[in-house]
Structure 1
């Protein structure tokens, strides 16, 4: 072998046992996450173990493993198990131990609903590091694919059609079974097996129809209440002005299931949602409030609503759960999907200055439009008019423009760099927990960068 090369010597024995502390550089993300988890209050997790049987892996190690996995784009428990052998960083986290994928998956499923306190504790640590002080935020949502195919969605009309067909087939099979002459039964057919298969499908269809009916009833009651409220508000404004209300009278909602109403057989709590660029996807709507100065996610939640108009109040509710020391939101920006008179008034009630686009912005604006100031605002302007005027000012335009370089890049990195485009779990409760996990992972990854910048 040529003497000028360094040989990869795989046979020499270590004179001293190797130390995992020597495996990673000082500022490595894995080291940072280990240090952060060591400062979290893990008492609820540790107390959940009964102490019987074989010793369990330390919850701190498994939690760190999950956080690091989601922060580096490794979400599958099987891939995390493989990483305990192949990844130096993961071997550092696990102390050279190898929890199997069942252990990792069971830990995640068991404690997924208890991650919210850690989300808040990590934000508190960011505050103690003099990195985070909440004041200005950007709110947005992104559609994330459910662990279900849209082709597994069953509409009411199709369900009724298939149900009728299956019942006819069951009747036919039962008649064949009653015949004494078995020669009419095709070769290879097992009537009991065929009956069992159809009965299971009928049972699934019946369950799906019940869920569609429940949703329809829920939808009707909600829309009926909204219709009554609209009529009352219309009457109130007419009495205040002394004039008859203009415009069409709000149409009352119609009860009853429609043929197009549907439910997904794999994850019935997911919804068919339109996606940017056209088309539809079986998905959930994941929401995030992002601090403008640090790009940290300070509040997250998941909804089944296909649009964002109803998500401002839940976002504010999540923000209220944060400790007072983190600061109070003073200004908030959101795109046109959040615009409504009700949402603007909500911001005023919460003492938050809103910057919510009232419509889509046109591209390639002229210099006059970009740098001009609007006419002075009338003294008696309402909340919506005031906000629209604010967005036309130079400062308002500059503030709203920051949305595109804060919350949108966060979603871009999570989806395109880390590769989190689909939930692994099913059901609104589970995907909410998983979105919390994604938020924690993003914040840890971002904090590791920010602390080095500030050092």
Structure 2
């Protein structure tokens, strides 16, 4: 009976020492990540180390470990450490070394700012491989949950109530301490400890109140600037028309201070409550990405605290302008109606990019006559909202804009579903910006590996 099966002998020694090179397929993602990271210039990272203490792990090894971990859905530093023992691929990337989770976590936090430069270097590698040719791009955003619970948010009204309550309690406890009268208190109660606990909470609440008040001032300044812009445009229109504009004159915004329901999160105060399509309102950040329509590689990405996408096109254009000449610059840009505004259309044209920004939500199940109908006569001007609306109604414009959904949205789907990144690990805007850059690096490496496989 046993002759039918292969023998199993786990104690049999190897005749020759095993080699990780032989255990990993030639076209494995881990090999590609290591080979690509070896071509990157990591001088800035290496110079940050001094010669004190024991020899450090090489930055390129730790970098490849993070890139491969994020690309395969293993982004916890503890999980990565475990994988260097359990996984052949992670063993290969780590060169059979086992950096502990503290080392991995510290390295990630230490070099967050440098990741943006490495992201651009990876794009240059993609150009050299013939995988990237910038032309048509699509811009989109997604809400990614912060490492904080929305239930840890404190409203301004509640903060004022707690401040008043705790102040009264501290005063009562101070009186008890001065009178040396502990009869009303339980035996295990320590007055100094109770006072210290409340004073610590008061400090946190006052900091939260100050943050909310600062945000209210910033909001008022933004409303005032928007009002002045509106009035300036109104004066220009009245000057051109030679008469006053009909209708009521806009009222200047009032500085009413914080609203009762203005909130700050006590865990990550720089995150914001945002509405997500899947889970309702969440404590989150707005992650943006500009994606090449041909290769589906991310060309640019940034992070925002704003729930609305309307103000996210200008930062994207600025970052696209900063790409090296070797990478190139886009000719046409598609974006959904969340980015629609005259300022955004004009900004694209100022950057010599033809905008295709939807003027409104598309109607589902359109009749064929409407889908194939030709637009009316073209507008007199070749730029502006009217010209853009006309372009979107042409057959070419409809075909181009139709590619948007199959470009940017699948990228976010892969990041969240395949790579498993639905929540940031780090807290604070600057740290989360660095983590978003790390995620984009990992995604592009994963995509480049896929494109090479398709070419082969």
**Short-chain TM bin:** over 0.9
- Asked whether 1:203 is paired with 2:203, we answer yes
- Which SS does the other structure have where 1:290 is aligned? strand
Output aligned runs, 1:98-137, within 5 Å: 98-137=98-137
The answer for the alignment partner of 1:221 in structure 2 is 221
Q: Give the direction of change, closer, same or farther, for the CA distance of 1:156–1:77 in structure 2 (3 Å limit).
A: same
Output aligned runs, 1:266-277, within 5 Å: 266-277=267-278
1-structure distance, mates of 2:434, 2:19? 35
1-structure distance, mates of 2:67, 2:351? 33
- Which SS does the other structure have where 1:142 is aligned? strand
Q: CA deviation at 1:303?
A: 0.6
The answer for the alignment partner of 1:410 in structure 2 is 411
**1:245-290 deviation per Cα after TM superposition (whole angstroms, max 9, x unaligned):** 2454333222122211221111111111111257211111000000
Q: CA deviation at 1:95?
A: 1.2
The answer for the alignment partner of 1:64 in structure 2 is 64
Output aligned runs, 1:166-245, within 5 Å: 166-245=166-245
1-structure distance, mates of 2:362, 2:5? 60
1-structure distance, mates of 2:35, 2:207? 48
1-structure distance, mates of 2:110, 2:46? 12
- Which SS does the other structure have where 1:284 is aligned? strand
**1:307-346 deviation per Cα after TM superposition (whole angstroms, max 9, x unaligned):** 0101111001111111112222110000110001111111
Mean Cα deviation higher: 290-299 or 111-120 = 111-120
2-structure distance, mates of 1:253, 1:393? 41
The answer for the alignment partner of 2:51 in structure 1 is 51
- Which SS does the other structure have where 2:172 is aligned? helix
Output aligned runs, 1:399-438, within 5 Å: 399-438=400-439
The answer for the alignment partner of 1:379 in structure 2 is 380
Contact residue 176 and residue 185 of structure 1 kept, 8 A: no
2-structure distance, mates of 1:2, 1:317? 70
- Which SS does the other structure have where 1:207 is aligned? helix
- Which SS does the other structure have where 1:154 is aligned? strand
Q: Give the direction of change, closer, same or farther, for the CA distance of 1:75–1:183 in structure 2 (3 Å limit).
A: same
Contact residue 131 and residue 295 of structure 2 kept, 8 A: yes
The answer for the alignment partner of 1:324 in structure 2 is 325
Q: CA deviation at 1:223?
A: 1.7
Contact residue 381 and residue 387 of structure 2 kept, 8 A: no
Contact residue 139 and residue 407 of structure 1 kept, 8 A: yes
2-structure distance, mates of 1:185, 1:436? 54
Mean Cα deviation higher: 2-11 or 96-105 = 2-11
1-structure distance, mates of 2:106, 2:131? 34
The answer for the alignment partner of 1:11 in structure 2 is 11
Contact residue 176 and residue 184 of structure 1 kept, 8 A: no
- Which SS does the other structure have where 2:154 is aligned? strand
- Asked whether 1:289 is paired with 2:281, we answer no
2-structure distance, mates of 1:351, 1:172? 68
The answer for the alignment partner of 1:83 in structure 2 is 83
- Which SS does the other structure have where 2:315 is aligned? helix
Contact residue 115 and residue 438 of structure 2 kept, 8 A: yes
2-structure distance, mates of 1:423, 1:75? 10
Q: CA deviation at 1:396?
A: 0.9
2-structure distance, mates of 1:174, 1:48? 51
The answer for the alignment partner of 2:354 in structure 1 is 353
Q: CA deviation at 1:5?
A: 1.6
Q: CA deviation at 1:189?
A: 1.7
Q: CA deviation at 1:213?
A: 1.3
Output aligned runs, 1:37-48, within 5 Å: 37-48=37-48
2-structure distance, mates of 1:247, 1:438? 50
Contact residue 333 and residue 354 of structure 1 kept, 8 A: yes
2-structure distance, mates of 1:382, 1:277? 37
Output aligned runs, 1:258-269, within 5 Å: 258-269=259-270
Unaligned segments of structure 2, at least 5 residues: none
Mean Cα deviation higher: 171-180 or 254-263 = 171-180
- Which SS does the other structure have where 1:54 is aligned? coil
- Asked whether 1:279 is paired with 2:284, we answer no
Contact residue 334 and residue 357 of structure 1 kept, 8 A: yes
The number of equivalent residue pairs is 455
The answer for the alignment partner of 1:150 in structure 2 is 150
Runs of 4+ in 1 over 4 A off after TM superposition: none
1-structure distance, mates of 2:425, 2:339? 28
**1:153-195 deviation per Cα after TM superposition (whole angstroms, max 9, x unaligned):** 1111110001111111112222222334433222322222211
